[in-house]
Amino acid sequence: MAFCDGDNFRGLNMILSLIIIVIISMVRKSTADDNLLGASFIFGDSLVDAGNNNYLNTLSKADMTPNGIDFKASGGNPTGRFTNGRTIGDIVGEELGIPNYAIPFLAPNATGKAIFYGVNYASGGGGILNATGRIFVNRLGMDIQVDYFNITRKEFDKLLGASKAREYIQKKSIFSVTVGSNDFLNNYLLPFLSIGARITSNPDTFTDDMISHLRNQLTRMYELDARKFVVGNVGPIGCIPYQKTINQLNENECVDLADKLARQYNAKLKDLLTQLGENLPGSTFIYANVYDLVMELITNYKNYGFNTASKACCGNGGQYAGIIPCGPTSSLCEDRDKHVFWDPYHPSEAANVLLAKQLVDGDTKYISPMNLRQLKSL
C-alpha cells in the first residue's frame, strides 16, 4: 500500500482547501440569493409615504412631533410618516415576512443592497393626476413615481444581472398602489384651485380622466416587469375628521358629495383592474376594498376597541380637531390606540394594523380575487 510523501500530501491539502473554499463561496452566494425574500414596491400618497416628503420643499410634511411617537424603529421620533406609528405598507411588509421596510426613494441611502427589500415612492399630497396637490407646492404624483421606479429597475439590473433581476421583480415582488383620495380632496373638491376642472368636468368625466391616467401608469409599471399588483380604492373620504369639521356634521354623518365621488371612482377602478388582468399576460391585479374596510371601522368602532371614529387624536380646530394638521402645537390625545384617526386625514397605527391584517389574510369581501399572502405565494 503506497503512502503520499510530505510534498504530495501538502499539495493534496491545498487542492482540498481550494475546493472547500469554492464550495463555501457557492453556498454563501446561494444562501444570499435565497435570503432575497421579495420586495415591496409602494406607490401612492400620504397614507403610505414613509418619508419621501422629508426631502421635498413642500407644505405636506410629517417630519415634526408628535408624528411617529409610537414608531419603535425610530425610537418614537418622526420619520415623515403621517401617523403615530407604522403605515399600512409597513405592516403589510412585516406580515409577509419582508425583513426591512421599503426605503424611501429620495433617501440618500436608497442605493445598493438597501433596495432589495423594496422601495417606497409614495408622497404626501400626490395623486393620479399631475394637477393634484398643487396646494402643497411640491409632491410626487404617480407619473413621477413610476419614472423613479424606472431608475430603481435599472439599478436592479446592475446589482443582480438582467435575467435574475427580471425574475426577482416579476416573481418575488409585490407592487402596491394607494392613491386617489387627493385627486378629490386636494383637486376636484377645492373650488378655488380647480374651478376650471369643475366647470369643464362633471364627476363622470373627472373620474374617467383618473382611470385613464391610472391605466397608463399601471401599464408602464407592467412594462418594467411589475406583475403582482394590489391597488387600493378610495376610502370614505366624506367621513374623515377634516370633512366632518369643515362641514359641521354630526358624529354619525358623512359628506355626501365626497363619498359619492369615491364610490363612483371605485366602481370604475374595479373594472379597470379586471381589464388589465385580462389584457396583460402573466399579471395579477388585486382589488383592495379600502372603502368598506375603513367604513366598517368607522361604523362599528366600539367592536374593535376604539372610543371614537370621528375625532382626530392629534389636531386642532372644531369639534373633531379636524382643521389644522398634526404638529408640535396640536392637541394630543393620551389614548392613541383608542382613536381610529390619528389626525384630520390619516388612520392611527391601531387602525392601520387592523386594515393591513385584513388585506394580508382577509376574504374576498375586502380583498379580491385573493389576499396578499396568497398573492405572494403565486
Query: What would the grid cell of residue 46 be?
Result: 400620504
Q: Quick check: 242 and 344 in contact, CB under 8 A?
A: yes
Rg (CA), the chain: 24
Residue 148 burial (CB count, 10 A): 19
Distance of CA 335 to the CA centre of its chain: 26
- What is the torsional sign of CA 14, 16, 20, 26? positive
CA separation for the pair 106, 70 (Å, rounded): 23
Q: Quick check: 24 and 77 in contact, CB under 8 A?
A: no
Q: Quick check: 320 and 312 in contact, CB under 8 A?
A: yes
CA separation for the pair 72, 292 (Å, rounded): 29
Q: Quick check: 136 and 83 in contact, CB under 8 A?
A: no
Query: What would the grid cell of residue 64 be?
Result: 415634526
- What is the torsional sign of CA 358, 361, 364, 367? positive
Q: Could you list the active site residues?
A: 46, 343, 346
CA separation for the pair 166, 28 (Å, rounded): 22
Widest CA span in the chain = 101
Query: What would the grid cell of residue 167 be?
Result: 425574475
Query: What would the grid cell of residue 325 be?
Result: 394638521
Closest-CA residue to 183 (of 127, 235, 238): 127
Closest-CA residue to 84 (of 312, 319, 305, 358): 312
Q: 3 Cβ partners below 8 Å, 6+ apart?
A: none
